[in-house]
């Protein structure tokens, strides 16, 4: 046995390239640092990085030819096997870089796609990631294929060379894209059906949104007690999770945790994940979570608002929540944020500090509280009966002579119209479930 032969795959090593074009140098440096976090999330070792200041884009390499040769030489010297750009580069520029450096060359979008690919758990998330990857790969197929002259025969009516491998691959990818879109549309239809069933029970719906790794899932777990994944990683949550939460005033709400946003989030991913992100659009209001320890917190705030605007959810009522106050070391940070966001809530999802205040504000954001009562309505009052089904939740229905006996929940605003029909004591025939005596208590009674 040759013990010196290693079967462990070589560690991937990357050289990062940031571009400072329209941004300030500080903004570009922050974006490059974020790219470093994204790449490290994939387990790739960063061997070096460079921030290139530019006045205009160049067609061949995005940067000038001299700078491209300099970057290529630095990456090779550091034994990198990939060059990763923080800015989107075209398929042609990607091919030019790989020819120049003899190294794999990718951009931020492909890095994010790889992260999403690793994080996707449910069928819907996997389909969404595959669709985004297919749409990203379609114009880049020539990177993977060099045998482009598969012949298809000759003879009368032949048009010269047959279908090339590239044309075949593009046709197959387009076909797969159509299949994925059809499957996602089917899932959207199923989601819409479930949503209609939810809307028949008019429980208010709230969605948690925000920048990736801001602590949304940790806050979600603190509020609902749900066992959801909480990790100090970018995009640790891709699939939406919805749980019921009972507020201090006994009001039930549905709380949804959504996928995090990031600066320069690829448009293809926003399109692919609209089925998931539409929970934000349909919620009664949003909880926007921000990490108070981040230096670029105001940029993160703007990024989330831009994505919500693209989704059409920017008109929703919103509670701004600054999370991780237990980790703040600079004493001026929170006072400065309070001046900029006077209505914001400051919490620690880890310790629970500020959660009571958040729940109080959530209670005030609910348009109307639901109350439960027993009603005795004449069967001739179809208008009142149908309104209960339309705006409330019927828990029990029976008939007595010419009357309908209902136990239902209704918004408080509708209660005055039903006041004459409220039964103070429980409605006859609507009996509560008998208590089941345990064996232990029965034995104790015999004793």
Distance between CA atoms of residues 95 and 424, nearest Å:
77
Tokens of 96: 């030019």
Q: Cα–Cα–Cα angle for 203, 209, 215, nearest 5°? A: 115
User: What's the pTM value of the predicted model, to 2 decimals?
Assistant: 0.65
pLDDT band at 227 (very low <50, low <70, confident <90, very high): low
Q: Give the residue-averaged pLDDT of 151-171.
A: 56
Pick the most confident of 118-127, 174-183, 228-237, 304-313. Answer: 174-183
pLDDT of residue 137: 84
Distance between CA atoms of residues 128 and 122, nearest Å:
10
pLDDT of residue 423: 84
Q: Give the residue-averaged pLDDT of 203-212.
A: 84
Query: Cα separations (Å) of 192 from 116, 182, 258, 269, 347?
Result: 24, 15, 17, 21, 34
DSSP 106-118: EEHHHHHHHHHHH
Neighbours of 11 (CB within 10 A): 9
pLDDT band at 10 (very low <50, low <70, confident <90, very high): low
Please state, for a pLDDT cut of 90, what percent of the chain lies above it: 29
Helical segments of 63-164, H only: 65-77, 91-101, 108-119, 123-137
pLDDT of residue 166: 75
Contact assessment for residue 32 and residue 18, using Cβ atoms and an 8 Å cutoff: yes
Choose the weakest-confidence range: 47-56, 177-186, 261-270.
261-270
Q: Give the residue-averaged pLDDT of 53-71.
A: 92
C-alpha 388: how far from chain center: 34
Q: Give the residue-averaged pLDDT of 201-221.
A: 82
Pick the most confident of 55-69, 106-120, 183-197. Answer: 55-69
Name the 3-class secondary structure at 20.
Answer: strand
pLDDT of residue 378: 92
Mean pLDDT of the chain: 79
Side-chain-facing half-sphere of 332: CA atoms under 13 Å? 1
Q: Give the residue-averaged pLDDT of 41-58.
A: 91
Q: State how beta strands 205-210 and 104-107 pair.
A: unpaired
pLDDT of residue 442: 41
According to CATH, what is the number of the domain 203-365? 3.40.50.300
Token pair 């777990």 in the structure block, residue: 221
Handedness of CA 223, 229, 233, 236 (dihedral sign): negative
Distance between CA atoms of residues 30 and 53, nearest Å:
14
Please give the CATH architecture assigned to the domain spanning 368-447: 2-Layer Sandwich (3.30)
Q: Cα–Cα–Cα angle for 209, 215, 220, nearest 5°? A: 70
- Do the domains spanning 13-108 and 203-365 agree at the CATH topology level? yes
Topology, domain 13-108: Rossmann fold (3.40.50)
* Domain ranges for the chain: 13-108, 120-143+164-201, 203-365, 368-447
Distance between CA atoms of residues 73 and 75, nearest Å:
6
Q: Give the residue-averaged pLDDT of 142-155.
A: 41
């Amino acid at each position: 046995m040759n013990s010196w032969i290693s079967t462990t795959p070589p560690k991937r090593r990357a050289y990062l390239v940031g571009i400072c074009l329209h941004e300030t140098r500080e903004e570009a440096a922050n974006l490059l640092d974020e790219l470093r976090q994204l790449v490290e999330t994939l387990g790739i070792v960063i061997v070096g990085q460079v921030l290139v200041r530019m006045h205009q884009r160049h067609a061949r390499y995005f940067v000038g030819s001299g700078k491209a040769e300099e970057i290529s030489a630095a990456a090779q010297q550091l034994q990198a096997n990939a060059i990763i750009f923080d800015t989107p580069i075209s398929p042609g520029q990607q091919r030019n870089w790989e020819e120049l450096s003899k190294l794999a060359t990718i951009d931020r979008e492909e890095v994010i796609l790889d992260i999403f690919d690793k994080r996707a758990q449910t069928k819907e998330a996997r389909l969404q990631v595959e669709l985004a990857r297919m749409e990203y790969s379609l114009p880049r197929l020539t990177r993977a294929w060099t045998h482009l002259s598969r012949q298809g025969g000759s003879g009368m009516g032949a048009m010269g060379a047959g279908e090339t491998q590239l044309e075949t691959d593009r046709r197959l990818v387009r076909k797969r894209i159509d299949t994925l879109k059809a499957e996602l549309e089917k899932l959207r239809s199923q989601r819409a059906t479930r949503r209609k069933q939810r809307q028949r029970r008019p429980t208010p719906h709230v969605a948690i949104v925000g920048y990736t790794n801001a602590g949304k899932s940790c806050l979600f777990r603190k509020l609902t007690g749900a066992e959801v994944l909480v990790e100090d990683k970018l995009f640790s949550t891709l699939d939406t999770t919805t749980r019921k939460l009972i507020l201090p005033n006994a009001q039930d709400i549905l709380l949804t945790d959504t996928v995090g946003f990031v600066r320069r989030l690829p448009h293809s991913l926003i399109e692919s994940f609209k089925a998931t992100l539409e929970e934000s659009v349909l919620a009664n209001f949003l909880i926007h979570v921000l990490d108070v320890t981040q230096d670029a917190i105001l940029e993160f705030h703007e990024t989330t608002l831009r994505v919500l605007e693209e989704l059409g959810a920017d008109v929703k009522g919103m509670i701004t929540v600054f999370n991780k106050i237990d980790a703040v070391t600079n004493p001026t940070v929170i006072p400065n944020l309070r001046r900029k966001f006077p209505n914001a809530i400051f919490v620690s999802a880890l310790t629970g500090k500020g959660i009571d205040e958040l729940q109080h504000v959530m209670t005030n954001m609910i348009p109307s509280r639901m109350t439960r009562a027993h009603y005795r309505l004449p069967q001739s009052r179809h208008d009142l009966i149908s309104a209960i089904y339309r705006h409330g939740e019927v828990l029990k229905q029976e008939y007595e002579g010419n009357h309908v006996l209902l136990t239902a929940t209704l918004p408080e605003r509708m209660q005055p119209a039903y006041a004459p029909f409220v039964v103070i004591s429980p409605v006859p025939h609507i009996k509560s479930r008998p208590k089941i005596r345990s064996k232990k208590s029965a034995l104790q009674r015999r004793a």
